[in-house]
Amino acid sequence: MRAALWLIALFAIAVAVALFAGNNQAVLTLFWPPHRVDLSLNLALLLAALAFLVLHLALRAFAAAFSLPMQARRWRAQQKERAMQAALMDGLAHLLAGRFIRASRAAQSALAQERSLAQLASEVGQDSGYNPQRALQLRSLAHLVVAESAQALQDKPLRDEHLRLALEPAPQRIGVETREGIALRAARWALEDREPLLALERLEQLPVGVARRTLALRLRLKAARLARRSAEAMETARLLAKHRAFSPQAAQSIVRGLALEWLQGAMDTRSLQQVWLSLDAEERAMPEVAVHAAGRLMSLGGDALQARQWLDQVWDAMVESEAVVPEDLQVRLVTTLERGLDSIDSDWLARIEAALLGRPRDPNFQYLAGMACLHRQLWGKAQQLLGQAVLNLQDADLQRRAWRALAQLAEQRGDAAAAQQAWRKLSQA
């Protein structure tokens, strides 16, 4: 359609020119004493158009001739900019490939090209296409590549120097994302150097929005664990689990490990109770956490009644299904309950008896019930239960304690042969 319109317009122009020039009888006379020149008006208009065209082309040629030096400088600036970008890309490629010396050299070459480009751009001016803000960002990235390579080569002075140079421009000049990325890399370097306090300090300097990103939270978690800050590590792990940074199984494992570390770091019963109350309900319901907390409380001389309260859910889980609680955890649970049998109440005695009735062949329940009977001075029942349990116990420590209790019971009732046999079994266990 556009071509058809252009064709119609050309035909219209041709018709207008033919109508004007065909019937134009006007004559233009030029007097140049003592000469007189007569020209038709059509020829005069044609000569005027040709003169305008020649003058225009001449001016264009002169302008192009005078602009050649400027174009040459602009071309050199473009070549330097391309060389700078190519050097930076080479540095990044070498860094990813683990060729750190070459990466550092390529990045330093990009820095040299950038300095030369800035000087050339000051001569050319705005026509060079030089973007100072973009150049500063490329310079910061080149400094980051050199610092990253120096970190890999354990050249800390060079790393710190280029880190300072990378962060030297104002944030609004190098870009917020670039500056945040450099700060996160600096925190990671401190963590790699086993300096968790420095890493946490650098993470604290980040804006709130950046500090809650998954990458920053992962760094904070590692630094807090390395610095033995269990409370901060637990809070960070909860945030990561909330953001689904881990799979549910991995998140549960990490939280469980942190809870165990936090409980282990308590040096008295008061601090242990504070840690226990700081845990979430789901965390307190974890069998490993509850058993460890109760065992730690008993080790610190805490209240056995409170320890048994912490073990309520774990005990119910172990009684309901054997597969829920592993064997080693069952042994630890039994050991913890055994340490508080002196103050055990009738409610827990009934629960132990009910568990034994539910699983009468379980050696762990037999052992615990036998030791409870021993503390209640039920000698016959204790000897019966311990005699059944000692043959099937998988834990060597529980088996030795069972043989010791049987030996003491035999001595108490005056059965020297049975006592001697129990002591011999104890020495062999």
Which residues pair with residue 31 across a beta bridge? 36
Compute the distance between CA of residue 283 and CA of residue 237 in angstroms, rounded to an integer.
Answer: 12
- Low-confidence residues in the chain, pLDDT < 70: 19-24, 120-132, 169-175, 321-325, 429
Predicted confidence at residue 103, as pLDDT, reads 92
Predicted confidence at residue 41, as pLDDT, reads 72
CA distances from 20 to 13, 39, 154 (A): 11, 16, 87
Predicted confidence at residue 127, as pLDDT, reads 52
Model confidence, pTM:
0.71
Residue intervals of the chain classified under CATH 1.25.40.10 are 349-429
Task: Report percent pLDDT > 90 for the chain.
Answer: 8
Say whether 35 sits in a helix, a strand or coil: strand
Dig out the tokens for 57 from the structure. Answer: 């082309």
Whether 398 and 414 have beta carbons less than 8 Å apart is answered as no
pLDDT digits (tens, 9 = 90+) for 325-348: 678 888 888 888 888 887 777 888
Whether 341 and 375 have beta carbons less than 8 Å apart is answered as yes
> Whats the size of the chain, residue-wise?
429
CATH superfamily of 349-429: Tetratricopeptide repeat domain (1.25.40.10)
Compute the distance between CA of residue 307 and CA of residue 298 in angstroms, rounded to an integer.
Answer: 7
Amino acid (1-letter code) at residue 8 = I
Compute the distance between CA of residue 306 and CA of residue 340 in angstroms, rounded to an integer.
Answer: 10
Predicted confidence at residue 83, as pLDDT, reads 85
Residue 341 backbone zone (phi > 0: left; psi -120 to 50: alpha; other: beta): alpha
Amino acid (1-letter code) at residue 278 = S
- Please enumerate in sequence order all residues whose Cβ is within 8 A of that of 245, keeping only pairs 6 or more positions apart, or say none: 214, 217, 218, 251
- Please enumerate in sequence order all residues whose Cβ is within 8 A of that of 285, keeping only pairs 6 or more positions apart, or say none: 313
* 8-state DSSP, 167: T
Q: Report the chain's terminal Cα–Cα distance, integer Å.
A: 103
Say whether 319 sits in a helix, a strand or coil: helix
Sign of CA dihedral 226, 227, 232, 236: negative
> What's the 3-state SS for 204-239?
HCCCHHHHCCHHHHHHHHHHHHHCCCHHHHHHHHHH
